[in-house]
Amino acid sequence: MYISLIRTIILYAVVIFAVRVMGKRQIKEMQASEIVVTLMISNIAAVPMQEVGVSIFAGIVPIISLVVMEVAMSYFMLKNRKFREMISGFPVVVIEKGEVNQEAMQTLRLSNEDLFEELRKKDIFDISSVDYAIIETDGVLSVLQKNEYLPATAEQMNVADCKSGLNALIISDGCIDTHSAGLVGWSESKISEVLAEQKLTLDDVYIMSGNADGDFKIVKKVLQ
C-alpha cells in the first residue's frame, strides 16, 4: 500500500512538472499536438500507479521523452512557419460582414447551433452585429463586432483623465501575495500602513486588491 502511495506521489510530481514545462493552457486553448501529448502522459502515468510490478521508470522515462519532443516541436514551430501551419492549421473566417461562410462551416464540421452557442458565450445574440468571426487554430472563436455595436471608448467620450491599469490581488485570505503586490508597486510596509489606517490586521482581511495609483479595495473576513 505504502509503495503504491509513494509511486503515485512521485508520478504526480513528474506529471505536474511536465505540464508546467509545456506551458499554462486550458484544454480548449491547446493545439492538437499538445492535447495528444497530454492524453498520452495521463495514460502512461496511470500504468505504474496501478501496477506495482511495473517499474516506475517505465512511466517517468516516456513522460520526460514526450515533454522533450513537445518542447522541441514547439520551438521548431516557432522558427518554421510552414511546419507550424502543417501542424496547427490556419485560422478560418466563419462570419464576414454579418454573413455566414457556409463552406467554411462545412469544412470545420461546425453546426449552426455550435456557432450561435459560441457567440452567446461572448454576449452576442444578433449575428448581423458581427463584422468578422474567426475560428482560431486552437478552436477558440474570435469575434469583431461592427463599429455601431461596439461600446464607446474613453477616447471617443473625451475622457482624458480616466484611470486605467493593472489591478492585482494583494492579500488573499490573510496572506500577502508578494508577487502580485510587486507588480503594482505595493511593498509590505505600504500594505501594513494601509491596514493600520483601516484598523485591520492581516487576519481580518479576506481579499485586498489594489493598483499602481494607490487605490485599493478590502473585503473583510466573515468566517474566522
pLDDT value, residue 100 = 92
96-114 residue pLDDT tens: 888 899 999 998 898 999 9
Question: If DSSP states are collapsed to H, E and C, what string results for the chain?
Answer: CHHHHHHHHHHHHHHHHHHHHHCCCCHHHCCHHHHHHHHHHHHHHHHHHHCCCCCCHHHHHHHHHHHHHHHHHHHHHHHCHHHHHHHHCCCEEEEECCEECHHHHHHHCCCHHHHHHHHHHCCCCCHHHEEEEEECCCCCEEEEECHHHCCCCCCCCCCCCCCCCCEEEEEECCEECHHHHHHCCCCHHHHHHHHHHCCCCHHHEEEEEEECCCCEEEEECCCC
Percent with pLDDT over 90 in the chain: 31
Q: Answer whether residue 195 shows pLDDT above 70.
A: yes
Query: What was the pLDDT predicted at 161?
Result: 59
Residue 165's pLDDT is what? 64
